[in-house]
Amino acid sequence: MKFLLASNSPRRAELLRNAGFEFEVISNGAQEGPPGSDEPPEDYARRLARDKALGAAATAPPGSVVLGADTIVALNGSILGKPLGPFDAARMIRMLSGMTHQVITAICLVKAPDQIAALKHETTFVTFREISVDEIHDYVGRKEPYDKAGAYAIQGLASRFATRISGCYFNVVGLPIALLDEVLRGIEAASAKLKASSPTPPQAAPSPVKG
């Protein structure tokens, strides 16, 4: 199966490469709108992942498998997306200081052009120590938070803040690799089973040989 990543995230691409996946990157064209008024964080992440995968699969080669993914940070039910600027980033880090929050990554796999093969999510709990005002100011000034959900990168400078991670670490980086591998293996097994059970088309009788 041709495997396509519907994401421009260098972190997700790096995680896939490091895990030995062979893939190509395809643009998804989906817009990340705000969550609904009563939409739970898990449902919001799943909706965005589905929209990304379906949007990219519509123009992907038929039969290829397209991966859409979305990562969000949630604290006490509130969704923390990507910060709008330095003040928003500082606000988010202050909220996470001394607290345990959730990192939710949803993955959607679509067989092009529009068949949803899987839609799942992984949740990891991350605890931050108390972070001083000076530390927050310094971190925000280093530009790392601005394209990250929750305004931080666990694999970067924010690793200094995390005192406990319960669950999949790679999920916090942006892609639950073990979950993805399990789902892809299931899709491949189902495809192989379907192919094996398909009736073999009848063979045409050979033409008589004229002497």
Catalytic residue numbers read 70
Angle at 171 between CA 166 and CA 177, to 5 degrees: 120
Query: For residue 164, how far is the Cα from the chain centroid?
Result: 22
End-to-end distance of the chain based on CA atoms, in angstroms?
47
Contact between 27 and 8 under an 8 Å Cβ cutoff? The reply is yes
Q: Is 129 exposed, middle or buried (0-12, 13-18, 19+ CB in 10 A)?
A: middle
